[in-house]
């Protein structure tokens, strides 16, 4: 279990880096005199870069080996993370955040393929669920600790703290992971051709769309939540808004449980249930009561991480070759959804307030449900029983 601990620790560090600015967006707005949608770019620029380069890392890991790619990327990530804390302008902050996004997929786009190198089909869901739980914990720590540190000192300190944590994560990967199977002998160009071949499988396309839509809605809600909760009638402080992100704990437990359930209930059905639950949670945030909103966010987390602990395993199980590239494509779509989710709901917020954010995010989930129904089923009617856990 040493390797699982090393991978999970590095995953926590990387996902914490991703969400550093989310609870402190109002502070960033005041520091640099930018509006909510502009401040939201400190999230969207990261996820856009992740989406842009994830496929490269997947193919690179197929060619060069997954451990070396993950360890090197994590070590380099510490540099722009620290530089964010030194940014003298909003544009400089965006550049350093973009550099973070260029390096994060070295871990986020490769980890599930690394797990798949060692796990059996029966054990895959459980192991991926554990890794997703680590990513949830990283998101929670990044949001909560960043807000608390910023409230106690200033908005720059969280970047320095998490830069140190990221270096520790890189050391854990280098020292704690065994090497996986030998890298594929194909050239990198051949690896890319294998990646493009995944677009011929509509089941994989459906899973990619599901990942994009669920993260769109999730990022949209949690990115603009601070503006909602610091405005009337709530008037919460930055520290209290950060504490609301403790609802992420629901995602930790959900990821582990869903990973176990997927082998029995079927991954496709579990994704549909998760999308529906997430939509219900988002609608419940319209109730103008803080306890109701907290409960709604718990429901959203349960739905979101039911999907996210299931969809990557669905992709890994159905990709017949170039599994690193398939997992990276999922991550690419996932973060394309996030980049749009950190921007478009902000425009909806500026026009229609919180109901606009809700409408935008629920609409995305409906697209995900359509993808599950129309794309993720078996390619043709089967005369025998369908293998449990794959559909």
In angstroms, the CA 190 to CA 5 distance is 33
> Which residues, other chains included, contact 62 with Cβ-Cβ below 8 Å and sequence gap of 6+?
113, 183, 184, 186, 191, 194, 322, 323, 324, 325
pTM for the full predicted model: 0.73
Contacts of 294 (CB under 8 A, 6+ apart): 244, 247
Q: What is the pLDDT of residue 298?
A: 94
Half-sphere exposure of 168 (CA within 13 A, CB side): 11
Please report the pLDDT score of residue 183 as a whole number: 53
Please give the average pLDDT of every successive group of 10 residues along the chain, which has 391 residues: 88 94 88 86 86 82 86 97 95 96 92 82 76 85 89 92 97 88 54 67 92 94 89 85 80 77 79 96 95 95 91 82 78 85 89 95 97 84 46 46
Query: What pLDDT, on the 0 to 100 scale, is given for residue 389?
Result: 45
Give me the domains of the chain, ranges plus CATH numbers. Answer: 2-174+187-375 (1.20.1250.20)
Q: Which one, of 42, 105, 52, lies nearest residue 76 by Cα?
A: 105
Residue 177: DSSP 8-state: P
The C-alpha atoms of residue 389 and residue 122 are separated, in whole angstroms, by: 8
Q: How far is CA 316 from CA 16, 109, 124, in A?
A: 25, 12, 9
**pLDDT for the residue numbered 74:** 97
Helix axes 121-152, 249-265, angle to 10 degrees: 170
Dump the DSSP string for 230-271: HSTTT---HHHHHHHGGGGHHHHHHHHHHHHHHHHH-HHHHH
d(CA 349, CA 87): 27
Report pLDDT for 387. 44
Condensed to tens digits (0 to 9), the pLDDT of residues 31-53 reads: 999 888 788 889 888 978 888 88
Task: Return the DSSP state at 342.
Answer: T
CB atoms within 10 A of CB 168: 14
For residue 110, give the DSSP letter. Answer: T
319 phi-psi bin (left φ>0, alpha ψ -120 to 50, beta other): beta
285: tokens are 């945030």
pLDDT of residue 94: 96
Per-residue confidence (pLDDT) for residue 286, from 0 to 100: 95
Positive or negative, the CA dihedral 302, 303, 308, 310 is positive
Q: Tokens 């999922």 sit at which residue?
A: 330
Q: Which residues of 50-70 are buried (b: 16+ CB within 10 A; e: fewer)?
A: bbbbbbbbbbbbbbbbbbbbb
CA-based Rg of the chain, rounded to a whole angstrom? 20
What pLDDT score does 191 carry?
55
């Amino acid at each position: 279990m040493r390797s699982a601990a090393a991978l999970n620790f590095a995953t926590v560090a990387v996902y914490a880096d991703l969400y550093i600015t989310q609870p402190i967006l109002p502070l960033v707005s005041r520091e640099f005199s930018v509006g909510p949608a502009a401040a939201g770019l400190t999230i969207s620029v990261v996820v856009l870069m992740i989406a842009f380069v994830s496929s490269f890392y997947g193919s690179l890991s197929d060619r060069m080996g997954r451990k070396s790619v993950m360890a090197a990327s994590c070590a380099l990530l510490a540099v722009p993370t620290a530089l964010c804390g030194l940014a003298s302008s909003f544009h400089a902050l965006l550049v350093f955040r973009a550099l973070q996004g260029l390096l994060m997929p070295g871990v986020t786009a490769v980890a599930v393929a690394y797990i798949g190198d060692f796990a059996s089909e029966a054990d895959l869901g459980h192991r991926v669920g554990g890794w997703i739980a680590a990513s949830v914990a990283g998101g929670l720590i990044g949001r909560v600790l960043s807000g608390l540190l910023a409230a106690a000192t200033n908005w720059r300190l969280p970047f320095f703290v998490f830069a140190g944590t990221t270096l520790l994560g890189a050391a854990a990967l280098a020292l704690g992971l065994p090497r996986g199977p030998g890298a594929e002998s194909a050239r990198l160009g051949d690896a890319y051709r294998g990646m493009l071949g995944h677009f011929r499988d509509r089941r994989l396309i459906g899973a990619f769309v599901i990942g994009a839509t669920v993260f769109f809605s999730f990022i949209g809600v949690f990115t603009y939540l601070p503006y909602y909760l610091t405005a009337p009638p709530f008037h919460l402080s930055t520290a209290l808004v950060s504490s609301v992100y403790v609802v992420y704990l629901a995602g930790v437990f959900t990821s582990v449980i869903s990973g176990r359930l997927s082998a029995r209930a079927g991954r496709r059905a579990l994704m549909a249930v998760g999308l529906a639950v997430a939509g219900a949670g988002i609608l419940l945030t319209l109730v103008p009561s803080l306890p109701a909103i907290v409960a709604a966010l718990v429901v959203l987390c349960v739905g979101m991480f039911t999907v996210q602990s299931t969809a990557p395993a669905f992709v890994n199980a159905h990709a017949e070759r170039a599994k690193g590239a398939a997992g990276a494509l999922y991550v690419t779509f996932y973060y394309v959804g996030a980049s749009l989710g950190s921007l478009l709901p902000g425009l909806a917020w500026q026009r229609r307030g919180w109901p606009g954010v809700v409408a935008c995010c629920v609409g995305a989930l409906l697209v995900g449900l359509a993808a599950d129904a129309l794309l993720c089923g078996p390619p043709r009617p089967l005369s025998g029983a369908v293998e449990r856990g794959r559909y």
